[in-house]
């Protein structure tokens, strides 16, 4: 679930774990690669997921000590 980090609710003004409130779900997103359904409560900005193989694994040094594998080098 994606919600404010300031509260157990979708309202950042209700600090900690408030009681007697509803948690409105604004949106559902399918994260097929992660095999998850993500629920968004309130106005939330999410970050993209990472690839299964990080691009950093393709970075290396050639025989002359030059960096290869960065931006098509």
Residue 41 lies in a domain: yes
Structure tokens given for 51 = 């690839």
Per-residue pLDDT of the chain in tens (73 residues, 90 and over written 9): 666 666 677 677 777 777 777 778 889 999 887 888 988 887 778 887 777 788 889 999 999 999 999 976 6
Residue 35 lies in a domain: yes
Separation between Cα atoms, residue 32 and residue 13, nearest integer Å:
33
Residue 67 lies in a domain: no
pLDDT given for residue 24 in this prediction = 83
pTM, to two decimals: 0.47
Domain range holding 15?
Answer: 1-47
- Tens of pLDDT along 15-34? 777 777 777 888 999 988 78
pLDDT given for residue 55 in this prediction = 86
Residue 52 lies in a domain: no
Please count the structural domains in the chain: 1
Residue 56 lies in a domain: no
- Please give the sequence-ordered ranges of beta strands (E in DSSP) within the chain, or none if there are none: 27-31, 36-40, 60-61, 67-68
Separation between Cα atoms, residue 17 and residue 39, nearest integer Å:
18
Residue 11 lies in a domain: yes
Q: Pseudo-torsion of CA 67, 70, 71, 73, nearest 10°?
A: 30
Residue 57 lies in a domain: no
């Amino acid at each position: 679930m994606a919600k404010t980090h300031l509260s157990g609710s979708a309202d950042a003004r209700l600090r900690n774990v408030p009681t007697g409130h509803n948690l409105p779900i604004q949106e559902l997103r399918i994260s097929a690669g992660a095999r998850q359904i993500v629920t968004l409560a309130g106005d939330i900005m999410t970050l993209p997921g990472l690839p299964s193989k990080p691009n950093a694994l393709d970075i290396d040094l050639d025989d002359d000590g030059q960096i290869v594998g960065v931006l098509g080098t």
